[in-house]
Amino acid sequence: MKYIIIGAVAGGASTAARLRRLDEKAEIVIFEKGEYISYANCGLPYYIGDVIKDRNALFVQTAAAFNRRFNIDVRTMTEVTAIDAEAKTITAFNHQTGKEYSENYDKLVLSPGAEPIRPPLPGITHEGIFTLRNVNDTDYIKSFVTQKKVKKAVIIGGGFIGLEMAENLHELGLDVSIIEMGNQILAPVDFPIAAIVQQHIRSKGVKLYLESAVTAFEKGDEGLKVIMKSGEHLDADVVIMSIGVRPDTRLAISAGLKLGDAKGIWVNEYLQTSNPDIYAVGDAIEFTNPITKQSMNTYLAGPANKQGRICANNVVLGNIQQYKGSINTAIVKVFDMTVATTGTASKHLEKAGIKHVVSTTTNGSHAGYYPGSKSMTIQIAFVPEDGRLLSAQIAGFDGVDKRIDILSSVIRNKSDIYELAEFEHAYAPPYSSAKDPINMAGFVAENIIQGRLSIFYWNELNKITSSDVLLDVRSKAEFDAGHIENAINIPVDDIRERMNELDKNKNIYIYCQAGLRGYLVQRILKQNDYQKVLNMSGGYQLWKACTNEAV
């Protein structure tokens, strides 16, 4: 049996290694058009920023080591240019020798990845404008930044890679600006979580230009000019284009393979393409989203590696294992903060017509009495009828990673907010609280479903009329330091003695700093015949972050 794999980074290398473990006698050939295989793509920005100082640490395997360990014929700098699916052959071009040749296969695996989007803007070919996708890109950027002694950087695109590059270039001492076409950074998360992170980015002196489109680049006397649609321009010594990627489907199209609605390579549940002898994995494929049931792509190393293992099992053993899709669990370090997401954001659930409720809670990363506890904001979305969890997003400092992994597992298992409320975690003061932030998110969601808590959101203040009451239940000192316009102040500890100041026939909209005190007041009022009472989800601090960032 002869297996050919096209692409030798995450998905392709994982497939090849698993194939060998399953079939010691097979002939396995892996083609990679670049110079390197199996490298840590996600670590590239940190090498540029000198966080990772040893370049060799980026390489999980070299071609020679991969060959020795797995007895796999690794052909780097060799690009597959065509596939003849009927004849079961590929055409390859060796960029080092200049020779073109053909190879036959019994089974073929495509892992061509994705290619960065580089729009044909005027001046985009000027020196100093880069995309970051592979090791060579990294070397070019690092060399340019070092040798040219650059001082100003412009990042175009506020996604994961763009933010990582912004942080790393800022750490090198550069003046950094980020231009984002959307109204927020980090498109996979909802606006409130993005707003919290944007506030943090601005606190570091990085400039954010939201809802701004780049129209051209010009060469100036002392560098580049980045021209925006507004007519404004930014000076830059280096520009990083990070506006996204698209599936590399050129070979699939030439082979007559089916593409899907998301413009990726269509695969079935066994990662098999429309040709039964050709499989595909990684950034180039699309599959059914487990939550929305719509076609989707994902550009994450974790799913690609897992797909490689499943694919190899099916290639060798005959379609024995189904790939269940990805819920896009992702995490990114943004200066001192960590942001993570899993499942389908509320804005995308709305587009898919999926009914849901959003709840936002803020708690400490560990016990407040133990030094170093920092705030962590968790937003979840769930089905109102049965509490099934659909998404979770976290913005915080410590412990974000372990919480998002828990939430991801709950979503993957199609479980609910009741599991969050009952989740049994390891507790000691340096690591958590007796009621973990995960539990707190579950408690609040449970109260919403059971009708004990009625909520409204930061962007619904326009629903409040002059005949309604906006009630701030924080302390007088907090109220005097800043409050929402037209609010009255009755601190939570005074509410029982002063509730007669409130009209039972009016709608009462409550807020506190994060939500807990507002909930307590709501419970008191409702049990004293005040029935039209709502509490702001996320509280004043979320409202302030969102209104400060609303474009």
Catalytic residues: 42
26 burial via Cβ count (<10 Å: 0-12, 13-18, 19+):
middle
348 in helix, strand or coil? helix
Task: State the DSSP H helix or E strand holding residue 83, giving kind and residue range, or none if neither.
Answer: strand 78-84
Positive or negative, the CA dihedral 456, 457, 458, 461 is negative
Please say whether the beta carbons of 387 and 405 come within 8 A: no
With CA atoms as reference, report the closest residue to 303 among 271, 257, 348, 346.
271
Q: Which residues contact 221 (CB under 8 A, 6 or more apart)?
A: none
Q: How many CB atoms lie within 10 A of CB 146?
A: 12
What whole-number distance in Å separates Cα of residue 527 and Cα of residue 525? 5
Please say whether the beta carbons of 198 and 335 come within 8 A: no
Please say whether the beta carbons of 537 and 360 come within 8 A: yes
Structure tokens at 258: 């089916």
DSSP 146-172: HHTT--EEEEE--SHHHHHHHHHHHHT
With CA atoms as reference, report the closest residue to 161 among 122, 190, 134, 128.
134
With CA atoms as reference, report the closest residue to 167 among 200, 119, 129.
200
With CA atoms as reference, report the closest residue to 271 among 537, 18, 524.
18
DSSP 1-37: -EEEEE--SHHHHHHHHHHHHH-TTSEEEEEESSS--
Which parts of 349-492 are beta strand (E)? 357-364, 375-382, 389-396, 455-456, 469-472, 488-489
Per the DSSP assignment, residues forming a β-bridge with 470 are 509
What whole-number distance in Å separates Cα of residue 497 and Cα of residue 505? 19
Distance separating the N- and C-terminal Cα atoms of the chain: 59
CA distances from 387 to 166, 377, 419 (A): 38, 20, 10
What whole-number distance in Å separates Cα of residue 519 and Cα of residue 510? 8
Residue count of the chain, please give it: 551
Positive or negative, the CA dihedral 442, 445, 451, 452 is positive
496 in helix, strand or coil? helix
Please say whether the beta carbons of 484 and 468 come within 8 A: no
CA distances from 546 to 219, 457, 458 (A): 37, 11, 8
Q: Rounded to 5 degrees, what are φ and ψ at 509? A: -105, 115
